[in-house]
Amino acid sequence: MWKARIEIMLKKSVLDPQGQAVEGALHSLGYDNVRSVRVGKYLEVDIDGGDKEAAGAQVREMCERLLANTVIEDYTFTVTEVQR
Amino acid sequence: MWKARIEIMLKKSVLDPQGQAVEGALHSLGYDNVRSVRVGKYLEVDIDGGDKEAAGAQVREMCERLLANTVIEDYTFTVTEVQR
């Protein structure tokens, strides 16, 4: 079985108000050396069968079709083998 | 400058309805070999100054105090040096 770990972030050119809110909260807690916060999504998807290449291709397709909004979001992922 | 990449997930023992919804959507798109989906948060936090150890300690403290709800969530992070 394959485990895909997918990180989905707003593109750099897109404003991230959630990240700004978290940055403001960190500053108000005294963490003045925090310079930038961006908030995104993280998904772990388990995939049965196939080889690593096929699993990677499937993850890319799932990101393009459903998981990420590629107009405003970028995604990266890794695929690793795991025991059931 | 240090870049912390933080992954925050619901603990395994906590139900993840968002993950179940994504899993159902993937199945309905024909991805029948998807076994489990868990959805979490991903944050990138830039931290000024200090050494790697201090940055890591600060990230852990920020997770405990603000970023993660450690009653129901687990977090992992990496810290890497980046150029401004």
The answer, yes or no, to whether residue A27 has pLDDT greater than 90, is: yes
B80 and B59 Cβ atoms separated by less than 8 Å: no
The answer, yes or no, to whether residue B66 has pLDDT greater than 90, is: yes
3-state helix, strand, coil in chain B (%, to 5): 35, 40, 30
In this complex, do A35 and B29 lie within 8 Å of one another by their Cβ atoms? no
Picking from B26, B42, B46, the nearest residue to A42 by CB comes out as B42
A55 and A47 Cβ atoms separated by less than 8 Å: yes
Provide the mean pLDDT of chain A: 96
Q: How high is the pLDDT of residue A38?
A: 97
Place of tokens 């998981």: A67
A62 and B28 Cβ atoms separated by less than 8 Å: no
One-letter amino acid at A69 equals: N
One-letter amino acid at B23 equals: E
Phi, psi of A65 (to 5 degrees): -85, -35
**pLDDT tens-digit map of A36-66:** 999 999 999 999 988 999 999 999 999 999 9
**pLDDT tens-digit map of B2-59:** 999 999 999 999 999 999 999 999 999 999 999 999 999 999 999 998 899 999 999 9
Angstrom distance (rounded) from CA B39 to CA A6: 10
Name the CATH code of domain A2-81 (choices 3.40.50.1110, 3.10.20.30, 3.30.420.10, 3.30.1280.10).
3.30.1280.10
Q: How high is the pLDDT of residue A83?
A: 84
The answer, yes or no, to whether residue A23 has pLDDT greater than 90, is: yes
Q: How high is the pLDDT of residue A1?
A: 93
Q: From the candidates B7, B37, B82, which should be mutated to test the interface with A, based on the most A CB atoms within 10 A? A: B37
